[in-house]
Amino acid sequence: MSRSLQKLLVVISVLLSLFLLAGCSKADKASVAGAVTLKYARGFKIENLADGCKKVTDGNKRVMLLVPRGQKVPSEYKNLPVVYTPVKRVVITSTTQASLMRPLGVLGSIVGVTTEKDQWYIDQVKAGMESGSIQLVGGGMGPLDYDKIVALKPDLVFMSTGGPNDARALQKLEELNIPVAVDNEWLENDPLGRLEWIKFIAAFYDKEQQASDFFDGAEKRIAEITAKVAKVKDKPKVIWGLIYQGKAYVPAADSYVARMIAMAGGDYLFKGNKGTGSRAITFEEYYALGKEADIYIDDTMMNLGRNTIAHITDQSRLMADLPVLKKGNVWGYQPWYWQSLDKTDEVIEDLAAIFHPALFPGYQLKHFLKLPPA
């Protein structure tokens, strides 16, 4: 081989190496082959495979394969349900799913929802329903409109399970051969675990790096808030719950709500009530601990009309005797609270400002409001 040919081969080799390195640098850092490491979420798994494919385990422990559009399904995974990515037409069954899609810039992929137009506080979804690009495919806790969903030809339906009709709905969608991914962020016991489900949503849009960057930013902001209130020795005693038909419902000690109270520098009065999610307790238990409360968070929806302290005392005349209600230290959710999962850092900052107003002079609440007497 001549020296000139050797030089030419060296140059070609260097150029090829630079090209490959440039390609690697452009690759999504969050899509490195192997299992994706999750910091807080426990309800799903993602494993990056060769050629941009991903194996995803959803919130109902269902395994599916995500394959880039135009690419063949690898033979070793041919028995798994397949979703081609990025998905372009999706049906969502929860407002929290839309809130996690917002930072990814993929709200335009929504073609079906189960929440009425006047209940939306995400402008792009509301506008989509007004224009007809987004259809109502069932309502609230009621059954899905399967005919409408089939007609929409979605690439994917995001749904959660745990409700009385969810198992049947999942089975029906599978019978109709409509791809489904179960998003059960509500079962996480850490607010950051709920927020980390943005990585689950992002996997279907090939937006893993965007999700990771967004999550890291929120995590950092929450750490700053937690560090700020950690210096305060006196933590206000907090009651968080609702009364319905003679029973009280409170977040359990290992719920994400109890964790948010602690992160914001509060002392949750029902921290001895072990378990996750929400628990029913007797009104007597609720009232007994409620007498110690400094702060009352009313766990109801403003848009259901329960937006005053009087609505709480209407549930029981005894409630009017609670000192925390007499002082008016009562807060409730803004109507868009359940569409703000992507703003978890703001929610925790709101709580910190409610618990420790001296640390947040001039702060304007974003997701809570102080309830008027009547």
Ordered mean pLDDT values, 10 residues apiece, the chain (374 residues): 45 40 41 87 97 97 97 95 98 97 98 95 98 91 91 97 87 97 95 98 97 98 97 95 88 96 98 88 93 95 73 87 96 94 98 98 97 92
What pLDDT score was predicted for residue 304? 61
Q: How far apart, in whole angstroms, are the C-alpha atoms of residue 204 and residue 180?
A: 11
pTM (two decimals): 0.89
Residue 331 contacts residue 297 (beta carbons within 8 Å) = yes
Residue 334 contacts residue 302 (beta carbons within 8 Å) = yes
Q: How far apart, in whole angstroms, are the C-alpha atoms of residue 115 and residue 136?
A: 7
Range list of β-strands (E), the chain: 34-35, 45-48, 54-57, 63-68, 82-85, 90-92, 110-113, 135-136, 156-159, 180-182, 237-244, 247-251, 267-268, 278-282, 295-298, 330-333, 368-370
What pLDDT score was predicted for residue 14? 40
Q: Indicate the helix (H) or strand (E) that contains 318.
A: none
What pLDDT score was predicted for residue 140? 66
**Domains of the chain by start residue, with CATH:** 34-87+145-217 (3.40.50), 232-370 (3.40.50.1980)
- Please state the φ and ψ torsions of residue 38, each to the nearest 5 degrees: -105, 140
DSSP state of 138: B
What pLDDT score was predicted for residue 31? 64
- Please state the φ and ψ torsions of residue 117, each to the nearest 5 degrees: -55, -40
* Residue in the block written with tokens 């005349």: 317
Computed on alpha carbons and rounded to an integer, the radius of gyration of the chain in Å comes to 24
